[in-house]
Structure 1
Amino acid sequence: MTKLDMSWDLSQMVDGASATEVKKKIEEKTKGFEKLVETYSKKIPDMSAAHIASMIEEFEEAIVETSNYMGYARLRYSADTTDKEARELNYTQNNASSRISSARTKLEIALGKELLKRKELLEAKELADVVHYFERLVRRAPYRLSEQEEALISEKDVSGIETLYQLQEAWVSQKTFEVEIEGKKKTISLPQMSSLRMDPDRSIREMATKKLYESYAHDKLLHSTALRGICADHVAISKRRGMPSAMTQSLLDQDVTEETVMALLDAIEGTASRFQEFLKLKAKFFGFDKLLGHDVIAPWTTEPTWTLEYPQAKEIVVDSFSSFDGEIGKVIQDMFEGKRIDAENRVGKPNTAFCAGWQKAKKSFILMSYSPTLGDLYTLAHENGHAAQGHMIYQTQRPINYRGSSCMAETGSIFGELLLTEKLLAKSEEDDQKLEVLSNVLNDFYYTTYYVATRALFEIELYKNIEQGELIDAELACNEWQAAKDRIFGDVVDWTEYMEWEWARIPHFFFPNYRFYNYSYSFAQMLVFAVYEDYKKGEADFNERFRKLLASGGSKSPAEQIEEFGYNLSDPGFWELGPRTADRLLADLKKLI
């Protein structure tokens, strides 16, 4: 397997255009978008429902065209933050993104105001398939500022919070580490060092964990300043908008209520003993009195039984999806054959994994760093699950409804992990293979449901401190992170030195204008494990209902989508459904111990 085989081909997005040509296209498309908004924004009060429908179609076409070149620039930079040309492209698209955001906000402010005046537009047959988008504009309307203020906010973000985020991301992604493993000294990248935290060898895990987080501690001024600046900016802007809390923006973005989010977090904290019992079982299996911090995400097996090289990983991931649904299997096959997955390990590549939509072609791109570990195999399945969901949305929805709540965006990805689990268990010839798979999927469930919920608890307390006038420095951030972990882990783990710096490794805390993102992962994990129980029952209409769920995008709220599938989000018992799947898998694991 060559590096070329593990890299994507982004040139197909822009028909092989040079960086200079892409910059020109970004400017051209951005100006076109701004002109479109200028043409329509003042005419909206005099437009009929049919005219508004026509305007929305032009708006969608402009968004798709503009996002094509800007998406290329973002992905070029994500693939290699050390590349000067990529940095210049990303700078261009960042500025264009700010302008487009300002223009879009201007149009949506005008639309929101008109919708408040003319409620009958929400009932117009010409606008039936964008009604939920309109409903969200109406909910957001009270928090919109003037056109000039919104433009100023977008402009200051480019050189403010977006620059802080890029600085932190680029600084971290360029790190290298000198390590000695099995008597061999070598230099490795950040993603490779991060992978070693899950090495079967406990001494290697400890070394990797300490070295990794010590590097964050060493750069504490950078990380704490970026965190403080981005969070303080969010609080200030939220207050200026008159939002009730620092979470309001997230609730509007994710299309959920605060009651739903807090019910989820309360349920997680209230059932944390389940997670703690799992960790105690893990310690017992290892023969330890108690787990140390670097054992929490460690594999249960010291000798990995699943060490698939990339070609084999590709084969089994495609097979997992194909066994469930032939059409989806072809979509995943095309991800590999179409060279839209970048899985190579290299310096300058951020320590992250994501799936990005290519709206113009109705396809997706995946970035990750693949090593022959079971964890990375699951990441490959996870991101391809996003691609599968993206395909269903692109084939069903119009562009204005492509983007939905992050609470639902993980549905395809987590379900993909469970399909992979099913395939690996079927292929397992030895109990050790089954044990590695079951322990891995349970590790992921408990990690995503409980450990990731720690991030949401941390953010809530972080913003309380800001509201109370506290300075968010490195010490306070570390203390709040540890306090949040204590609420979930109790006293069942002795934390490894420097692990109070975990917060600095998590990119979600630094995403500009995207606060409280983490609870959506826990939401999705609970949801998909509940959905999987239906799948295992073998109900005849499951595939049809599930494909519809995947394809909903932003056309309905999460509550509406889940109700249509067959659940009631307001039912207190809903959050108990997911853990039942985990309980069943845990029972299977216990049989192997």
Structure 2
Amino acid sequence: YPGLDSPEFAAARTHLKDEVHALQAYLQEHQAEFTPATAPETIHALLSDFIKRFNATLELAETLGAYLASFITTDSYDEQAKRLYSEFQQEQVQLQMLQSRAMRTIGALGETLETVIALGGEPAAHAFALREAAEQSRYLMSDAEEALAAELAPSGPAAWSKLQGTVTSQLTVDFELDGETKTLPMPALINLRSHPDGEVRRRAYEAETKAWKQVEEPLAAALNGVKGAVIVLNRRRGREDALHASLDASRIDRETLHALLSAMQDSFPMFRRYFRAKAKRLGKESLPWWDLFAPLGKTDTTFTFPQARDFILEHFGGFSPDLADFARTAFDNRWIDAEQRPGKRGGAFCMGVPAVKESRVLCNFDGSLDQVFTIAHELGHGYHNHCLYRAGKTPLQSDTPMTLAETASIMCETIVTNAVLAQASDPQEQLAILETSLISDSQVIVDIYSRFLFEKEVFERREQAELSAADLCDIMARAQKATYGDGLDENALQPYMWTWKPHYYYAGFSFYNYPYAFGLLFGLGLYAIYRERGAAFVDDYRNLLASTGEANAADLAARFGIDIRDRAFWDASLQMIAERVERYEALPV
């Protein structure tokens, strides 16, 4: 769109609202025909029309959302964009209600749905989405109750979530740094955990803990509010527990999760060896929390943005010319917003823009090796989108669960990480690279498991009563002891981790933790297969990326002979991390 004030943008918003209302009316008008008693050919015609229009509506909604996000994430001072995005979020309530209504309509067809799919056309092309909708329709409340839940969400769990974001983003701390007292927002204070000076890291940890103590009550109220709402809705929808909905959304079963978690748990001794080795390098007997992210080693390697581009393109090309061509297009067409500037969101992400079949990447490039890894990771997400777009997949065919969303990003990051390690000859440079990698790996395996344990107990106890801030800190500390074990100093943990991780405050997806571990280990497992098969792997890999919205995780993995319900696969992926730990331990202290 030409701009937020443009007639084109206003017309698109109006068209979206009109089409959502029109589709709601369509389902209402034909409700009596969406029954097993109706001729399958009639249902097929009605459903085909609805699928086409619904896909167009989803594409428009996703494009408008991405367009608005491109403003608010790159300039937080843009009041117009923030207001329009808030309005857009309110308008999405109607789309959510339409999705629930469509799910119920499809579920009401019963066994007739398979007859309709067998007739071909749009229903056959969207068979997985239709079957999934029919299955999930079992967990819907009545239309009136679902509508009420959707309308109350902005003032209920979403409001609690917004409170957490507001409190944590506006909290500041006066902190002495480089001989000057500065007022730091909490993200800046937390980032000091990777400061090269250990004394700065310790003081930042103490200041952070003290700051969270001051706001623990409103944040505890927010967490109780979100989890309480989720518990009620899950019970009313007939869910077994909070994990049930999360597993369905992730498209895995409990057997798969058990295999994954068991392998993760058995890897803790290996990670504790890394933590103890790091403590030794820092001259300590055990590692306190504030040293978890301490940088070690030394690398003089820095990159200009053009150098980062050339390095990534070179090594992407070694994997696949197609991947390199995509990345070159992204660089050359300025799809990557890389510079650091005031008002721009920290971190990095990639988002698809389905109307133009392109992606956009946000990062904060500082010339470091870590940022080169980050760009490679986000371009992996973009390549995943590219494979879906090129295959002509519709929004309903492209709906990828979190468990599979990291497949391409982990692959691309691993390609670049291994390339850097292969070129590093100086032990201090190798140490710096391995440290960066193992900090990330340990967070995704060890810390993620602690977050899973924390959330599991919070849900179990919240069913009985509200939890105090002291309760939440106690649960968090015990979860960290159970996972980090003797790898960390048990007297220097971080019991306030629950305050600032926004994942705990999302009502729409509980246990927003284990999918990260699944994504890392699934991606590493695929990379191991690539090392065995070489170029013959690439076509199958592209087809996999183009199909992540059309099958569950187990069926997609089976294409590569992978059984994700078998511990052996996860153990093999973790062995790749174990090799890094062994290399880390072997470097001179």
Common topology (TM > 0.5) = yes
How far apart in 2 are the matches of 1:313 and 1:496?
A: 41
CA RMSD of superposed structures (Å):
2.5
**What does residue 529 of structure 2 align with?**
534
Amino acid at match of 2:572: L
**What does residue 423 of structure 1 align with?**
419
Cα offset for 1:230?
A: 1.0
How far apart in 2 are the matches of 1:54 and 1:203?
A: 65
How far apart in 2 are the matches of 1:129 and 1:227?
A: 41
- SS in structure 2 opposite 1:365? strand
Determine if the alignment matches structure 1 residue 588 to structure 2 residue 589.
no
Determine if the alignment matches structure 1 residue 509 to structure 2 residue 501.
no
- SS in structure 1 opposite 2:414? helix
Instruction: Check 1:567–1:234 CA distance in 2 against 1; reply closer, same or farther (3 A cut).
Output: same
Cα offset for 1:382?
A: 1.9
Instruction: Check 1:409–1:93 CA distance in 2 against 1; reply closer, same or farther (3 A cut).
Output: same
Cα offset for 1:194?
A: 3.5
State the Cα deviation string for residues 328-356 of structure 1 (Å, max 9, x = none).
Answer: 22322333443333444456555543222
1:433-472 residue pairs with structure 2 within 5 A?
Answer: 433-467=429-463, 469-472=464-467
**What does residue 543 of structure 1 align with?**
538
Structure 2 residues without counterparts, runs of 5 or longer: none
Structure 1, 175-184 or 71-80: larger mean CA deviation: 175-184
Structure 1, 344-353 or 210-219: larger mean CA deviation: 344-353
1:127-276 residue pairs with structure 2 within 5 A?
Answer: 127-188=123-184, 190-276=186-272
1:115–1:121 contact (8 Å) kept in structure 2: no
Determine if the alignment matches structure 1 residue 34 to structure 2 residue 29.
no
Cα offset for 1:576?
A: 0.9
**What does residue 104 of structure 1 align with?**
99
Please give the TM-score of this superposition, normalised by the length of structure 1.
Answer: 0.90
State the Cα deviation string for residues 187-228 of structure 1 (Å, max 9, x = none).
Answer: 555544443221222223223333344333322123212211
1:269–1:487 contact (8 Å) kept in structure 2: no
Determine if the alignment matches structure 1 residue 357 to structure 2 residue 352.
yes
**What does residue 93 of structure 1 align with?**
88
Amino acid at match of 1:557: N
How far apart in 2 are the matches of 1:166 and 1:285?
A: 41
- SS in structure 2 opposite 1:357? strand
1:115-126 residue pairs with structure 2 within 5 A?
Answer: 115-126=110-121
Identical pairs, percent: 25
Instruction: Check 1:427–1:280 CA distance in 2 against 1; reply closer, same or farther (3 A cut).
Output: same
Determine if the alignment matches structure 1 residue 332 to structure 2 residue 319.
no
Instruction: Check 1:104–1:455 CA distance in 2 against 1; reply closer, same or farther (3 A cut).
Output: same
How far apart in 1 are the matches of 2:27 and 2:492?
A: 58
Cα offset for 1:311?
A: 4.5
How far apart in 1 are the matches of 2:201 and 2:518?
A: 29
How far apart in 1 are the matches of 2:499 and 2:299?
A: 29
Cα offset for 1:257?
A: 0.9
How far apart in 2 are the matches of 1:165 and 1:23?
A: 29
How far apart in 2 are the matches of 1:171 and 1:348?
A: 18
Instruction: Check 1:540–1:88 CA distance in 2 against 1; reply closer, same or farther (3 A cut).
Output: closer
Please give the TM-score of this superposition, normalised by the length of structure 2.
Answer: 0.91
1:173–1:348 contact (8 Å) kept in structure 2: no
1:407–1:520 contact (8 Å) kept in structure 2: yes
- SS in structure 1 opposite 2:293? coil
**What does residue 399 of structure 2 align with?**
403
- SS in structure 2 opposite 1:555? coil
**What does residue 9 of structure 1 align with?**
none
Cα offset for 1:532?
A: 1.8
Structure 1, 267-276 or 317-326: larger mean CA deviation: 317-326
Determine if the alignment matches structure 1 residue 382 to structure 2 residue 396.
no
Residue 473 of structure 1 is aligned with which of 464, 468, 478? 468
Amino acid at match of 2:505: F
State the Cα deviation string for residues 208-255 of structure 1 (Å, max 9, x = none).
Answer: 333344333322123212211111110010011111111121122111
**What does residue 5 of structure 1 align with?**
none
Instruction: Check 1:488–1:79 CA distance in 2 against 1; reply closer, same or farther (3 A cut).
Output: same
How far apart in 1 are the matches of 2:365 and 2:156?
A: 33
Determine if the alignment matches structure 1 residue 494 to structure 2 residue 489.
yes
1:227–1:509 contact (8 Å) kept in structure 2: yes
**What does residue 480 of structure 2 align with?**
485
1:45-84 residue pairs with structure 2 within 5 A?
Answer: 45=35, 46=38, 47-84=42-79
How far apart in 2 are the matches of 1:326 and 1:176?
A: 47
**What does residue 312 of structure 2 align with?**
317
Amino acid at match of 1:299: P
Amino acid at match of 1:15: P
How far apart in 1 are the matches of 2:449 and 2:304?
A: 32
How far apart in 1 are the matches of 2:130 and 2:68?
A: 30
- SS in structure 2 opposite 1:568? coil
- SS in structure 2 opposite 1:366? strand
How far apart in 2 are the matches of 1:349 and 1:505?
A: 19
Cα offset for 1:177?
A: 4.8
Instruction: Check 1:529–1:140 CA distance in 2 against 1; reply closer, same or farther (3 A cut).
Output: same
1:190–1:351 contact (8 Å) kept in structure 2: no
Instruction: Check 1:200–1:537 CA distance in 2 against 1; reply closer, same or farther (3 A cut).
Output: farther
How far apart in 1 are the matches of 2:323 and 2:499?
A: 36
1:82–1:348 contact (8 Å) kept in structure 2: yes
State the Cα deviation string for residues 524-546 of structure 1 (Å, max 9, x = none).
Answer: 11212222222223534111222
Structure 1 residues without counterparts, runs of 5 or longer: 1-13
Determine if the alignment matches structure 1 residue 571 to structure 2 residue 566.
yes
2:477–2:493 contact (8 Å) kept in structure 1: no
State the Cα deviation string for residues 351-380 of structure 1 (Å, max 9, x = none).
Answer: 543222211112222334444444343333
Cα offset for 1:69?
A: 1.6
- SS in structure 2 opposite 1:472? coil
How far apart in 1 are the matches of 2:133 and 2:375?
A: 35
Amino acid at match of 1:18: D
- SS in structure 1 opposite 2:258? helix
**Number of residue equivalences:** 578
Instruction: Check 1:319–1:65 CA distance in 2 against 1; reply closer, same or farther (3 A cut).
Output: same
